[in-house]
Amino acid sequence: MPPIPKFSKEDILNCAYEIVKKEGFEGLNARKIAKVLGCSVQPIFHNFTSMEELNKEVHQLIYHKYQEYMLSAKEKEDNPYKQMGLSYIKFASDYPEFFKILFMQKTNLNANDFVMTDSIGEDVIKTGQMVTGLSYEEQKKFHVKVWIFTHGIACLVATKTIQFTKEEIEELLAKSIKEMLIGYKKEKKNEGK
């Protein structure tokens, strides 16, 4: 009798991650993981107490991948604020199912709260301050407007509604951020009169 293959927690987690990358959480279940690994569901429930626990760990891996994209953009010297926006869109392009899981689910949050629930949000705002020269509170308000615009492009990319070239996205984001900043500063100046 051939030996029964043993699967580690990491093997199962990596398999689940790959399934979710292609099909979202809707495509993830114990039978599918077992089929891909060529085993019964027993190793899955030996390593995880439930599918809910496995789902949470996959979600953490997804969020970690997103953080990698955003934090690597922050390190770039050429306008890191714009680079973080481009990375947000690139993440949507490279990992559309992951993007949908993180950013296209129903919530009861307003835009400001949604942006601030993301642990990267604070980094993006501080990075934006270096570029715009706005105070923290002003940058927070400005960033919500930029994020709504950037998120719209990312959603179009993730759902493949519209095909953009990398150059089109870069130009659209750069020009729009510049125009929004000019308008925001003009609006603030008019409020002070």
pLDDT reading at 148 higher than 70: yes
The predicted-structure confidence for 99-111, as pLDDT tens digits, reads as follows 999 999 999 999 8
Asked if residues 104 and 150 have their Cβ atoms less than 8 Å apart, the reply is no
Q: How confident is the model at residue 5 (pLDDT cuts 50, 70, 90)?
A: low
Burial of 10 (0-12, 13-18, 19+ CB in 10 A): exposed
How far is the C-alpha of 139 from the C-alpha of 124, rounded, in Å? 10
The predicted-structure confidence for 40-89, as pLDDT tens digits, reads as follows 999 999 999 999 999 999 999 999 999 999 999 888 777 888 999 999 99
Task: Write down the CATH number for the domain with range 9-48.
Answer: 1.10.10
Give the residue from 71, 64, 74, 90 showing the smallest Cα distance to 153. 90
Domain boundaries, the chain: 9-48, 65-191
How far is the C-alpha of 103 from the C-alpha of 3, rounded, in Å? 43
The predicted-structure confidence for 87-144, as pLDDT tens digits, reads as follows 999 999 999 999 999 999 999 999 888 888 888 888 889 989 988 999 999 999 999 9
Whole-number pLDDT of residue 1 = 47
Whole-number pLDDT of residue 75 = 83
Whole-number pLDDT of residue 193 = 61
Burial of 138 (0-12, 13-18, 19+ CB in 10 A): middle
